[in-house]
Structure 1
Amino acid sequence: MQSILRGYSTMLTYLNRLVGYAIGIMLAVMSILIFWQVFARFVVGESLTFSEEISRFLMIWMTMLGTAYAIREGSLIAIEMLPEVLKGKGQRILRVISEVVATIFYIVLIIYGWQMAEAVQMQTAPSTRISMFWSMLALPVGGIFMLLNSLGVISKQFLIEKGGE
């Protein structure tokens, strides 16, 4: 069992590395587009018609993927009062319970995010004419990565409990 959990953890590490690179690329593209938009508007005198829309879509994707990445790294904002009071096994149990509750939310996000993406697939963005499906797809995809990382956090607690880490 420990070897399966370690394998899952290793797979998540590589997957999160890829997601981190994708987030970095999205941030770079978004920064270039916004810089060019400001330059075109104030220096050239004409603004681009598509840059704001693409930047908005990239921001949605970065937020969803970045949240999933932050779950694995333990970087999300949290109230740490109760976990600091508890020690050892009690602290691990609390973390597992909070991750299970979060996992339920991620499953809901995946299901309803997919339904929302399907519902808007015939709508197109005004300037790029891209289907709104692609921007809404960030909800279920981000939810899947959040779920995977949350399961990784839970499995890490079991590895710690068994003395495997």
Structure 2
Amino acid sequence: MRKLLEKLDRFLAVFLMILMAAIVIDVTWQVLSRFIVGKPSSFTEEIARFLLVWIGLLGAAYAFRTHAHLGLDLFTSKLSFEKRLRADVVAQLVSFGFSASVLVYGGIKLVQLQLLLGQTSAALQVKMGYVYIVIPLAGVLICIYAIDNILCVRERLNQPAHGDSLN
């Protein structure tokens, strides 16, 4: 299981790098076509917008995995080590619940609705359901990562000698 998650982490990191490179190239071309060529490209703004949505949501899942999100530990820092770990489990469960209900369930409903209605983007004529598929995808990733984080906390709680650092 751990090796599969490591491969998923590596794939997500590389995919995010590719998306970042694509948005840099896209916006660079948009600026060049507008100011150097004099004829702005009609589709680059839409591509940049869609890439930003994908980078934001997948980046949030990656940040959740690497514990890079902003956290307020004002109250938990005063707790004992075991109570901090238990508070972490509660936070992971809340994150799992939010992701499962809003991102996965709500995202699937949104994608289904968009595909049913057949809404397409203005410049690229891409079905918006395909653009929004990243919402449930990011939700699934966050759910997987929350479960793994809970399992890691359980392992730390079962260790006989605890260190005093939270990861």
**Is TM-score (shorter-chain normalized) higher than 0.5?**
yes
Cα deviation, 1:101-151, whole Å, max 9, x if unaligned, reads: 111101112001110111112100010000001111111001001111111
SS at match of 1:19: helix
Distance, in Å, in 2 between the alignment partners of 1:12 and 1:83 is 28
Are 2:43 and 1:47 equivalent residues in the alignment? no
Identity of counterpart residues, as a percentage? Answer: 25
State whether residues 72 and 152 of structure 1, in contact with CA within 8 Å, keep that contact through their aligned partners in structure 2: no
Cα deviation, 1:76-125, whole Å, max 9, x if unaligned, reads: 11111122111211000000001101111011120011101111121000
SS at match of 1:25: helix
Are 2:29 and 1:36 equivalent residues in the alignment? yes
Distance, in Å, in 2 between the alignment partners of 1:43 and 1:102 is 47
Are 2:153 and 1:160 equivalent residues in the alignment? no
Equivalent residue number for residue 19 of structure 2: 26
TM-score (norm 1): 0.91
Deviation at 1:59?
0.9
Structure 2 counterpart of 1:63, one-letter code: G
Gap runs ≥5 in structure 1: 1-6
Structure 1 counterpart of 2:97, one-letter code: I
The count of corresponding residues between Structure 1 and Structure 2 is 158
Aligned residue among 70, 81, 86 for 2:74:
81
Distance, in Å, in 2 between the alignment partners of 1:152 and 1:59 is 27
Higher RCO, 1 vs 2 (CA within 8 Å, ≥6 residues apart): 1
Gap runs ≥5 in structure 2: 163-167
Equivalent residue number for residue 107 of structure 2: 113
Are 2:141 and 1:148 equivalent residues in the alignment? no
Distance, in Å, in 1 between the alignment partners of 2:18 and 2:10 is 12
Distance, in Å, in 2 between the alignment partners of 1:15 and 1:142 is 13
Deviation at 1:16?
1.1
Q: Cα RMSD (Å) of the superposition?
A: 1.5
Deviation at 1:162?
2.1
Distance, in Å, in 2 between the alignment partners of 1:116 and 1:129 is 18
Aligned residue among 125, 130, 137 for 1:134:
130
Structure 2 counterpart of 1:111, one-letter code: Y
